[in-house]
Amino acid sequence: MPGVGNGGNLRPGASLLHYVRWEHLLAGVSGGVIATLVLHPLDLVKIRFQVHEGTVATVSRPRYNGIMDAFLQIIRKDGVTGIYRGVVPNVWGAGMSWGFYFLFYNSLKTWMQDGDSRLNLGPAKHMLAASEAGLLTLILTNPIWVVKTRMCLQYEKQAGSNQNYKGMFDALTRIFQNEGFRGLYRGFLPGVFGISHGAIQFMAYEEMKSQYNVYRDRHVDYRLKSLEYLVFAALSKIIAASTTYPYQVIRSRLQDQHRQYTGNLDIIRQIFRYEGVRGYYKGFGVYLLHVRPNICIVFLLYEYVSTWKKNKRVRDQDQKNKWS
């Protein structure tokens, strides 16, 4: 159905808190959790490709000759559960990240629109809202991403090793005890750069939806078909990934418990020196296989849950007005 003007019962000129809608949190959490449970094995293989230094490797790691070989080796060595190593922090991280991101982004966007969902903010304001939402989300979730990366890089079970963890909360506790607060925020700086990934993605997604509706002579917030949402979600993710992927490689290597670097510049220099430009795109093929269905699941669930809740709020308000 078409958009609902001022977002139902939203009040023009209201404070930011007035535009907080918890259905966005629910929608993001639902999409993030479901997508992660389905696609975690690809995420695990991607991380292992990202940290492998090739012929100059200083850490003994498994060598894989492609995605299928990676799956077969992991299953042969650790069983089927091996391809789900690190899934618990990944589910927590994805659920919280998508939930908070959608909550913050939509609250900021609606506030910028002054409650009018039919107002097209344009690329600059969409990117601003997405960047602010990304920074807030990163601050809240970075420790979970550190744990997820480290648990995905547990190659062998070594009794008493500081590099292996019993679970998510054991990892959080031991990282804080052994490395302090800084340990939980390893990879934060490239994560800040990665905010541009979300900003580009959401700007592209919003602009494609808006321009498509304008082309079809409809309101910019007109409810699209599922396939249209899927196409725009996939295209926006590919655009963002193609331009910002290297930060993920740098971030994974900073968070790796098996290798120590002096900082971001040290990683950038070493990758360029020993692995060339291709080193910054290690795991990119697996990432594309993982991210396209991932983003489609997340965005489709998000659009359905948030639209259902918005329409319910409007119906309730109409019913209230009818009897008042």
In angstroms, what is the C-alpha Rg of the chain? 21
Residue 15 DSSP label: -
Residue 194 belongs to some domain of the structure: yes
Residue 79 DSSP label: -
Residue 9 belongs to some domain of the structure: no
Distance CA 232, CA 226 (A): 10
Distance CA 206, CA 213 (A): 11
pLDDT reported for residue 225: 84
Residue 3 belongs to some domain of the structure: no
Question: What's the gap between Cα 118 and its chain centre?
Answer: 27
Residue 10 belongs to some domain of the structure: no
pTM across the whole model: 0.76
pLDDT reported for residue 174: 92
Residues 6+ apart with CB under 8 A from 17: none
pLDDT reported for residue 58: 67
Mean pLDDT of the chain: 84
pLDDT reported for residue 121: 83
Residue 322 belongs to some domain of the structure: no
Count of domains in the chain? 1
3 state SS of 293: helix
Task: Answer whether 104's CB lies under 8 Å from 50's CB.
Answer: no
Residue 65 belongs to some domain of the structure: yes
Residue 240 belongs to some domain of the structure: yes
As averages over each run of 10 residues, the pLDDT of the chain (324 residues) reads 41 67 85 91 92 75 88 92 92 92 90 81 88 93 92 69 78 92 90 86 89 88 84 89 89 85 89 92 89 84 73 67 65
Residues in the chain: 324
Residue 154's domain comprises 16-317
Residue 50 belongs to some domain of the structure: yes
Distance CA 282, CA 286 (A): 9
Q: What CATH code is carried by the domain that includes residue 199?
A: 1.50.40.10
pLDDT reported for residue 271: 93
Distance CA 33, CA 256 (A): 24
